[in-house]
């Protein structure tokens, strides 16, 4: 194209190459002829690669506790200790999948009947009994108000609120999530005792069809196993309680509803009284029930059991 008189711009558009690339090849042809175009010329990198032993040393140190009074390595601390640039430390950590500044929390259940209870609860999610209603039941919440009014969202600035708050009392939201259709039965109570829990069970009993068996998934909170609650359960033979493993609140489907309630309505909300909080919760539950979605369990319980076993083995290897 150069020999035919085409300009640099025309060659760039046709070949998709940059201007510097076109000029470089033209210069190489003018200097060396066709031989200059047969092989690409190697050139040394702008920055010399890090020595392999140095990289291994950084990785080894990262996996150890720092000798100074610190819980983990930082980029600058590692760069100073090894004598390389901070950008080199970042590159090494990235290539080896290391991120010492990040932590993930975990909780392993020590329930001896973990596998049995897990399969029991997941079985209700995946294949609920015929002519039965499966409910996931839990309770929580408190009323908070900020000490000063927050500033609204505007262009170039996020919404703001004070870091401190003042309490206006607490409320307990008892909620039962219907696994089959995703609807929620909610009741606000002043306290979380067996008396309030029995009142909530009576409220559910009044709303559910009388010809259906009721399977309830619960955590191991003492209130749920109180003698008077057991007596209530004995008087209502169509009800069956299923307790999940200890330290496994994630297994309770209604926790997803509480997370949504907290994230969407309560976390940044301002409530000047318990009544205000309860009214807000009731409106949220009503809105949720207008378009509920069935709960669908997707995790393989055997994979969960295997992961828990690996977690216990890892902890035992440390000790």
Rounded to whole angstroms, the Cα distance separating 283 from 299 reads: 32
pLDDT (average), residues 68-81: 90
Give the Cα separation of 274 and 168 in Å (integer): 6
Model confidence band, residue 156 (pLDDT cutoffs 50, 70, 90): confident
How many other CB atoms are found less than 10 A from the CB of residue 56?
12
- Is residue 305 over pLDDT 60? yes
Domain annotation covers residue 104: no
Range of the domain at 58: 52-95
Pairing of strands 184-189, 165-178: antiparallel
Is the CB of residue 185 less than 8 Å from the CB of residue 282? no
pLDDT score recorded for residue 265 = 83
CA-CA distance, 128 to 130, in Å (whole number)? Answer: 6
87 and 202 share one domain = no
DSSP 208-265: S-TTSEEEEEE---GGGG-HHHHHHHHH-TTEEEEEPPTT-GGG-THHHHHHHHIIII
Structure tokens at 151: 């500033």
Q: Is residue 106 part of a domain?
A: no
| CA–CA gap between residue 242 and residue 135 (Å, rounded) | 10
Asked whether residue 108 is domain-assigned, the answer is no
Looking at the structure, tell me whether residues 20 and 82 fall in a common domain: no
Q: 239: which 2 tokens? A: 């009800």
- Residue 47 in any domain: the answer is no
pLDDT in tens, 170-219: 778 889 999 999 999 998 888 888 899 999 999 999 989 888 999 999 98
Question: Which single residue is written with the structure tokens 């994630």?
Answer: 250
243 in Cβ contact with 124 (< 8 Å)? no
Mean pLDDT of the chain: 85
In a domain, 3, yes or no: no
Q: In terms of domains, do 307 and 187 share one?
A: yes
Residue 319 lies in a domain: no
Q: Are 280 and 168 within 8 A, CB to CB?
A: no
Q: Above 60 in pLDDT, residue 152?
A: yes
Burial of 270 (0-12, 13-18, 19+ CB in 10 A): middle
Query: Number of structural domains, the chain?
Result: 3
The strand pairing partners of 175, in sequence order, are: 138, 186
Q: What are 140's strand-pairing partners? A: 173
pLDDT in tens, 3-47: 888 899 999 999 898 998 889 888 888 888 887 777 766 666 667
Token pair in block for residue 166? 């003042």
Residues 67 and 175 both lie in one domain: no
Of the candidates 113, 104, 103, the residue with the CA atom closest to the CA atom of residue 247 = 113
141 shares a domain with 88: no
Sequence-separated (6 or more) residues with CB below 8 Å from residue 68: 77
pLDDT of the residue at 232: 93
Q: pLDDT tens digit string along 75-101? A: 999 999 999 999 999 999 999 999 998
Residue 305 included in any domain? yes
Q: What's the pLDDT at 3?
A: 87
Task: Evaluate if residue 65 carries a pLDDT over 70.
Answer: yes
Quote the tokens at residue 168.
Answer: 């206006």
Residue 70 lies in a domain: yes
What 3-state class would DSSP assign to 145? strand
Q: What is the pLDDT of residue 38?
A: 75
| For residue 134, pLDDT beyond 60 | yes
Helices 52-62 and 86-95, axial angle in degrees (round to 10): 80
Share of the chain above pLDDT 70, in %: 90
Q: What pLDDT does 166 receive?
A: 60
* Predicted structure pTM score: 0.69
Query: Which pLDDT score, from 0 to 100, does residue 147 have?
Result: 60
CA distances from 290 to 179, 181, 186, 297 (A): 16, 11, 14, 22
* Percent of the chain residues topping a pLDDT of 90: 31
């Amino acid at each position: 194209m150069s020999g035919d008189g085409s300009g640099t711009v025309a060659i760039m558009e046709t070949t998709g190459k940059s201007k510097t690339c076109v000029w470089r090849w033209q210069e190489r042809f003018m200097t060396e002829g066709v031989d200059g175009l047969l092989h690409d010329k190697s050139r040394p990198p702008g920055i010399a690669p890090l020595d392999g032993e140095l990289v291994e040393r950084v990785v080894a140190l990262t996996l150890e506790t720092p000798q100074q009074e610190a819980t983990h390595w930082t980029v600058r601390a590692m760069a100073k200790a090894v004598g390389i640039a901070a950008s080199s430390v970042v590159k090494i950590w990235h290539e080896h999948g290391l991120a010492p500044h990040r932590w993930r929390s975990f909780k392993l259940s020590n329930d001896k009947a973990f596998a049995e209870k897990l399969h029991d609860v997941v079985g209700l999610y995946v294949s609920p009994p015929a002519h039965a209603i499966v409910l996931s039941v839990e309770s929580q919440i408190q009323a908070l108000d900020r000490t000063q009014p927050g500033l609204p969202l505007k262009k170039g600035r996020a919404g703001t609120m004070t870091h401190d708050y003042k309490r206006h009392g607490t409320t307990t939201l008892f909620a039962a999530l219907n696994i089959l259709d995703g609807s929620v039965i909610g009741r606000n109570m002043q306290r979380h005792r067996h008396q309030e829990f029995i009142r909530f069970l009576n409220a559910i009993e009044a709303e559910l069809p009388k010809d259906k068996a009721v399977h309830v998934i619960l955590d191991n909170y003492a209130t749920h196993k109180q003698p008077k609650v057991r007596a209530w359960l004995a008087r209502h033979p169509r009800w069956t309680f299923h307790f999940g493993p200890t330290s496994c609140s994630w297994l309770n489907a209604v926790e997803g509803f509480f997370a949504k309630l907290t994230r969407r309505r309560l976390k940044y909300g301002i409530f000047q009284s318990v009544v205000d909080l309860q009214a807000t919760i009731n409106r949220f539950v009503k809105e949720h029930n207008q378009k509920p979605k069935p709960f669908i369990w997707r995790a393989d319980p055997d994979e969960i059991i295997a992961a828990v076993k690996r977690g216990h083995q890892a902890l035992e290897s440390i000790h």
